[in-house]
Amino acid sequence: MIVGTAGHVDHGKTALVKALTGVDTDRLQEEKARGMTINLGFAYLPTPSGDVVGFIDVPGHERFVHTMVAGASGIDFVLLVVAADDGIMPQTREHLAIVDLLGVKRGLVVLSKCDLADPTRRATVAADISAALAGTTLEGAEAIPVSTITGEGIDDLRRQLFEEASRFARRSASDRFRLAVDRCFTLHGIGTVVTGTVLSGSIGLGDSVVVSPPGLTARIRSIHVQDQVAERGRAGDRCALCLTGDGVSKEAIRRGDVILDPTLHAPADRVDAELRLLPREPRPIGQWFPVRFHHAAAEVGARIVLLGDEPIAPGGAAKVQIVLESPIAAAAGDAYVVRDTSSRRTIGGGRLIDLRAPSRKRRSPERLARLEAYAVPAPERAVVALLDTPPRYLDLGAFARDRALGAGEVARLIDRLGLVSFAVGQAQFVVSSMCWARFKRDLNSFLESFHAGNPDLPGVGTEKLRLQLDPCLPASAFDAAIRSLVRAGQIELDGAWIRLPGHEVRLAAREEALWREIEPLIAGPVRFHPPRVRDVAGGLARPEAEIRRLLKLTGRIGKVHEVAHDQFFLRSALAEIVEIVRSLAVEHDGQFSVAQFRDSVGSGRKVAIRILEFLDREGVTWRLGDLRRINKHRLDLFRRQDDNGPSEEDFGGASSPVGRPDFKSGRGREPVLGGFDSHSLPPQCQ
């Protein structure tokens, strides 16, 4: 059990911890010289049962409240220290508000310096404390009078802490590992050491971790738990981790970073959250309000974006979007606190809801309904709620990552809820079984109607069909869903055309006969440089208009494509050409020249340029000066039905926001998503 102190400066927090444990937590020379705590202090007390109670001693001075928040974020039990001679003071109330905002529900009030107060004064202060606790998470907490000078109450307090520790239920360690760094230092002969409270999961010797947000990879060399050598640290433990790895140093890691499971590394710089404003605030919070944002041990500048129409009144609560100056490593459901920009008072706080908040349409009814679903604490119930609100699909892998859910939880949720899933790279898109049944029914109805109205077309385009169906899945997920239906024999896929099984476009007998004469002339060795219409017409002694009309018709059906004026290529030839450009891109670092393509297809330069210009128009390739790159999302445009094509992994891609071109690291004064920083004028809300 981790116990934290809270209270006004010079009310005896450090002396109390020393009386309980024998450890002076003021370790810095400046702290001893000034007689006040400046940084976090730590001490440990063995219990009769063999467990250890850890103490985090926090500073009480108003200038160091940010340090107090860092210490209070990982505690299980709080000792609110109030001096009997002074009574309740400003930092007493602010520390109590922070403990309440962070959701610490277990604690005791310590009436310190009782040797300086008579019974009447003690009773008066106790009554004031009881009134101050009303309406907070510590309402009704017992007050214990103590004196570190005479020893009064120390044994009783220690015994009560032992009883609380024996009843304390350890946090579940089934989630993925996260530790908030509150100190980083170097020990001679050991290396770089970080300390903090384990927020979730567990860690063992030799495990790989990531320092987030910087993204440093490291390995655990040694572990101390509650100041003792250990092989494993678990949720709720005070841990010291010795890290090793490239770039890992005291200078590279700072307070506020999080040591975490590598799968969780996805920093957020725009977060939707619940915000509760403290009743003592002098005025409401308006749009684009500047604050200092505190999460675990991190502190960054931020702006509050209101998602409602009215300012948040003192004592009120609302859902907001928090735009951060630099990214943080967090999890949905984490508590946070916001203070004014001068860091002189605490304004409010709450819980994080969605780490991937949008910059556009954040106030639309659909988005607000989605936010209500994200706010459901229980993962299983949240997934059900999210799948019941538009767009009625969910990347379950990202959902589990943002909640730090343990390995295997995605599979368990899919199994328990009977979800239909589509794996796309690292993403795992899911829909409900009811939604999937409706999707297939609507797909079948749309294709039947389309075939009836367009009997001469081979099918409907993939993108057109995707936009017609509910849910409107992302293109990659839609492609996976369609291929699952193809494997089940419910539909057929021919390149970018989708059709019902059995649907076939047939030419009239006379046209079919003429096509059988034309096809050999543009196939075989000449398929990459076929003759033009006039040459085909001359070879068959037929009018050009007749040949052109038939090739236009077969182009509508999908058998050929007009690459250049009056020059038609077989669809199968274009499928080969797409595979050639894909291979060229792989062989030449993602780009290739006209000459390289010409040599691969064995045609002249003019024909090669015509083909590449056609692929440019179709979006299969992009021209960059004299070179071309491929668009991996259009590679299936001419693919044959039996061709699985290249995997997306051939060309990279990741579901994590880290590495995306729209993700900003927060270094320097780069703007956050949306193109503005916290010092800009407020944008127009949507």
Asked if residue 548 and residue 490 are part of one domain, the reply reads no
Q: What is the pLDDT of residue 608?
A: 95
Q: In total, how many domains does the chain have?
A: 6
Q: Are residues 277 and 351 in the same domain?
A: yes
Range of the domain at 413: 367-423
Share of the chain above pLDDT 90, in %: 67
Domain termination residue (choose one: 332, 363, 394)? 363
Predicted confidence (pLDDT) at residue 305 exceeds the cutoff of 70: yes
pLDDT score at 456: 76
683 inside domain: no
Q: In the predicted model, is pLDDT for residue 38 greater than 60? A: no
Give yes or no for residue 682 having a pLDDT over 70. no
Q: Is residue 660 part of a domain?
A: no
Q: Are residues 354 and 230 in the same domain?
A: no
In a domain, 654, yes or no: no
User: Helix, strand or coil for residue 537?
Assistant: helix
C-alpha–C-alpha distance, residues 587 and 42, integer Å: 57
- Confidence (pLDDT) at 505: 76
pLDDT of residue 553: 86
Q: Which helix (H) or strand (E) holds 443?
A: helix 433-453
If asked whether residues 390 and 351 sit together in one domain, one would say no
Q: Are residues 9 and 144 in the same domain?
A: yes
Question: What confidence tens digit (pLDDT) does each residue in 316-327 have?
Answer: 999 999 999 999
Asked if the structure places residue 676 within a domain, the reply is: no
Note whether 41 and 150 are same-domain residues.
Answer: yes
Are 403 and 331 contained in the same domain?
Answer: no
Pick the closest to residue 176 from 466, 417, 405, 444 (CA basis): 405
- The CATH number given to whatever domain includes residue 485 is 1.10.10.10
Q: What is the pTM of this model?
A: 0.77
Determine the Cα–Cα distance for residues 475 and 595; give it in Å rounded to an integer.
33
pLDDT level of residue 26 (50, 70, 90 thresholds): low
Residue 669 binned pLDDT confidence (cut-offs 50, 70, 90): very low
Whole-number percent of the chain with pLDDT over 70? 90
pLDDT the model gives residue 32: 42
CATH number, residue 290: 2.40.30.10
Q: 166: which 2 tokens?
A: 């024996």
Residue 186 CB partners (closer than 8 Å, separation 6+): 192, 193, 249, 250
Show which of 167, 199, 218 is a domain's final residue: 167
Confidence of residue 63 (pLDDT cuts 50, 70, 90): low
pLDDT at 575 over 70: yes
| Mean pLDDT, all residues of the chain | 87
Does residue 685 belong to any structural domain of this protein? Answer: no
pLDDT in tens, 110-124: 999 999 999 999 999
Q: What element of type H or E holds 239?
A: strand 238-244
CA distances from 81 to 72, 84, 101, 255 (A): 14, 9, 18, 26
What does the pLDDT average to over 129-138?
93
Residues 375 and 440 in one domain: no
Residue 483 is predicted with a pLDDT of: 92
> Do 93 and 138 sit in the same domain of this protein?
yes
Looking at the fold, whether 45 and 148 belong to one and the same domain comes out as yes
Determine which of 370-374, 448-452, 554-558 has the lowest per-residue pLDDT on average: 554-558
* pLDDT tens per residue across span 141-180: 999 999 999 999 999 999 999 998 888 867 777 899 999 9
Question: Does residue 406 lie in a domain region?
Answer: yes
- Tell whether 671 is covered by a domain: no
**Inside any domain, residue 677:** no
- Say which CATH number the domain at 155 has: 3.40.50.300
Average pLDDT over residues 348-375: 95
Where a domain ends, among 105, 134, 167? 167
Place of tokens 């990531």: 210
Asked if residue 27 and residue 158 are part of one domain, the reply reads yes
85 and 232 part of one domain: no
pLDDT tens-digit readout, 333-356: 999 999 999 888 899 999 999 999
**pLDDT band, residue 508 (cuts 50/70/90):** confident
